Amino acid sequence: MTPSTYDKALELNLDPAVYGTFAEIGAGQETANWFFRASGTAGLMAKTISAYDMTMSDAIYGRANRYVSESRLVAMLDHEYGILIERLGPKRGAETTFFSFCNTVRARGYKDSGECHGWIGIRYQLKPGDPPSDIIAHVRLLDDSTMKQMEALGAIGVNLIHAAFRQKGHLRNFVESLLDNLSTDRVEVDLLKFSGHGYGFVDNRLCALQLVESGLTEAAMILPSGEVVQPAEALYKRPVILLRGSFNPVTNLHMAMLDHAGEAFETLLDDAARSREVELCEISVHNLLRGDGMDPVDFIDRADALQALGKTVLVSSCAEFHRIAAFLNRCTREPIGIVLSIGLLNELFKPKWSENLAGGLLESFGRLFKDGVTLLVFPWKNRKSGELVTVENFHAPADSAKLYEYFLETRRILGVEPGDESLLALTGRDVQQLINAGDATWRDHVPQAAQPVIERHARG
* pLDDT value at residue 351: 87
What are the distances in angstroms from CA 1 to CA 7, 37, 154, 161, 177?
Answer: 12, 21, 20, 19, 12
Q: For 387-432, how does the pLDDT look when each residue is reduced to its tens digit (9 = 90+)?
A: 899 999 999 999 999 999 999 999 999 999 988 888 998 889 999 9
Residue type, 208: A
* pLDDT value at residue 386: 84
* pLDDT value at residue 291: 61
Question: For residue 424, with 0-12 CB atoms within 10 Å meaning exposed, 13-18 middle and 19 or more buried, which class applies?
Answer: buried
Q: From CA 199, how far away is CA 176, in angstroms rounded?
A: 19
Q: Are 64 and 75 in contact (CB under 8 A)?
A: yes
Q: For 276-327, how does the pLDDT look when each residue is reduced to its tens digit (9 = 90+)?
A: 999 999 999 988 876 667 789 999 999 999 999 999 999 999 989 999 999 9
pTM reported for the whole predicted model: 0.94
Whether the link from the prior residue into 224 is cis, omega within 30° of 0, is no
Low-confidence ranges of the chain (pLDDT < 70): 290-292
* pLDDT value at residue 411: 94
What are the distances in angstroms from CA 14 to CA 17, 95, 168, 447?
Answer: 9, 15, 19, 57
Q: Give buried/exposed letters for 264-295 (b at 16+ CB in 10 A, else e).
A: bbeebbeeeeeeebbbbbbbbbebbeeeeebe
* pLDDT value at residue 371: 82
Select from 214, 226, 19, 205 the least CA-distant residue to 124: 19
Q: From CA 83, how far away is CA 101, in angstroms rounded?
A: 13
* pLDDT value at residue 294: 77
Paired sense of beta strands 373-378 and 336-341, if any = parallel
* pLDDT value at residue 71: 95
Q: From CA 348, how far away is CA 320, in angstroms rounded?
A: 9
Q: From CA 292, how far away is CA 220, in angstroms rounded?
A: 22
